[in-house]
Structure formats: C-alpha cells, structure tokens
C-alpha cells in the first residue's frame, strides 16, 4: 500500500465524481487534503465529512478555475491551511455541452478550452512556489480518452482541450523535473458511476459505449483514483510526462 502520510494535497473539482474519489483515496493513504469545488459546496461538504472521519486534516475551498484571481486565492488558502503543498491534482473540467463545429461559436470553444486546459495551467502556476518548496512535488492532470480518439458527437472542443492537457503535461514534466516535481496525466474513458455521461449522453449511447469496450464494463471513479494515488506516491518518482489510460482497452496504442 502506498504511504502518503504527512503529504499535503489539493484536488480541484473534488466535490463529486472522480475528483471526490481521488480526494478520499489520498486521505485513505494518509494525506491531508483540501477539497476544491466550483458550484458543489453541499457535495464537497460531504466529501470533507468523509475525509475527516478518516482522521485527516481537511478543508473545503470554493473558486472559479477560469478566473486567475480566484485560482490564486484558493491555492493560497489551501497552502496556508496545509502549511505547504506536496500534491496537486487538477481534476476540474467540463464538457460544457455537445455542439457541432458548424454550430459552434467562438465563445463556446473558448469556454471549453478555458475550463479544461487554461484552468489547469493557471492552477499549476499558482501552486508552483509551494510545490517547489516541497522538494518532491507531484502534479496529476486530467486528460480524457477524447484526447486520443476525438470524443463523441459534438465534443470537438473538449477533445482538443484535453489533447492540450496532455501536451501541457509533457512540457511541464520537462520544465519542472529539475525541481523534483513530477507531472503526469490521467486519461479516463467511460467511467459509469459519475454524473458526466448521464448528463451528456443518452441511455442508448451509454449502453452502446459499454458494449464496445473490450473489458465489457464501464470503469469506476475508484479505479481512476487508484491510478492517481500511484502517480503521487514516492514509488512513482521516476514516472513523469506520462499519460495513464484508464479506459477498459478502448484506446490501445
């Protein structure tokens, strides 16, 4: 079992779904955690309660990841509360909506890029001083199967943004390696126990997606969280610039 005792973590978009699962998993392995949320304060409070029950220090912070001042504020609050920062998981992101290119406005494309790609850049930049001071910082970004296969109908902007997250991750890994900071991406596919697919895909499309998976089932948020725990562990110190696909064999390469 990976030991994260004494490690200090901030997870963005951790009020529900994959982010919540990652926050809880980090705490289960010994980390103290700040749970960031956008508009899910009530759900974040439930995550905080669960982590507190594990005996870990925990705090919820809200903030808009598309606003630089907000990001700087909540990263600062997290760092101050924890007394430093060793782990940053940039999970916050959103499909926003399915829109065909012919119908897509500049504003929609920019919004999707902002909340997925630029927000990741902002958050890493804000956390860099604390991660450098850690001496063994870990950053995990959130890509997607869509970055590899272009996504489903109406997801061109999302797939482009998530492909950008992979490029950002590789560039950061090189730039931050001298600071002993590793940077890796997770690329989930169909994770069936989150709101994402229920919100943006019909039941028929979800069933077809699962039927086409080589493993014959959808994934779980806990399985994504397990990969995150490994990437932030001491054992993964030689792993950086990688993208870990968690997609049931949907994108063999």
Q: Which residues are catalytic?
A: 158
Residue 10's φ and ψ, nearest 5 degrees, are -120, 125
Rounded Cα distance, 243 and 16, in Å: 23
Question: How far apart (Å, rounded) are the C-alpha atoms in residues 21 and 14?
Answer: 8
Q: Is 83 exposed, middle or buried (0-12, 13-18, 19+ CB in 10 A)?
A: exposed
The closest of 28, 111, 104 to 64, measured between CA atoms, is 111
Q: How far apart are CA 22 and CA 29, in angstroms?
A: 11
User: Which residue, 152, 173, 177, is CA-closest to 162?
Assistant: 152
CB 62 within 8 A of CB 14: no
Beta-bridged to residue 184, according to DSSP, are 140
């Amino acid at each position: 079992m990976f030991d994260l005792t004494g490690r200090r973590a901030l997870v963005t978009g951790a009020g529900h779904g994959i982010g919540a699962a990652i926050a809880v998993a980090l705490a289960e392995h010994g980390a103290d955690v700040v749970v960031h949320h956008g508009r899910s304060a009530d759900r974040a409070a439930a995550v905080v309660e669960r982590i507190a029950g594990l005996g870990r220090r925990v705090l919820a912070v809200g903030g808009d990841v598309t606003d630089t001042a907000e990001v700087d504020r909540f990263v600062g609050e997290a760092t101050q509360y924890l007394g430093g920062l060793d782990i940053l998981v940039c999970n916050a992101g959103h499909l926003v909506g399915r829109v065909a290119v012919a119908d897509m406005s500049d504003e929609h494309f920019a919004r999707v890029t902002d909340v997925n790609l630029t927000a990741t850049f902002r958050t890493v930049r804000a956390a860099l001083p604390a991660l450098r001071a850690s001496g063994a910082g870990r950053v995990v970004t959130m890509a997607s199967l869509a970055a590899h296969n272009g996504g489903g109908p109406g997801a061109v902007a999302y797939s482009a943004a998530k492909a950008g997250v992979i490029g950002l991750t590789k560039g950061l890994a090189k730039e931050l390696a001298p600071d002993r900071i590793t940077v890796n991406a997770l690329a989930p596919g169909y994770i069936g126990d989150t709101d994402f697919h229920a919100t943006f895909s019909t039941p028929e499309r979800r069933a077809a997606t699962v039927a086409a998976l080589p493993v014959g089932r959808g994934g779980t948020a806990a399985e994504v969280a397990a990969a995150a725990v490994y990437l932030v562990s001491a054992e993964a110190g030689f792993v950086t610039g990688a993208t870990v696909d968690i997609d049931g064999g949907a994108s063999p390469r």
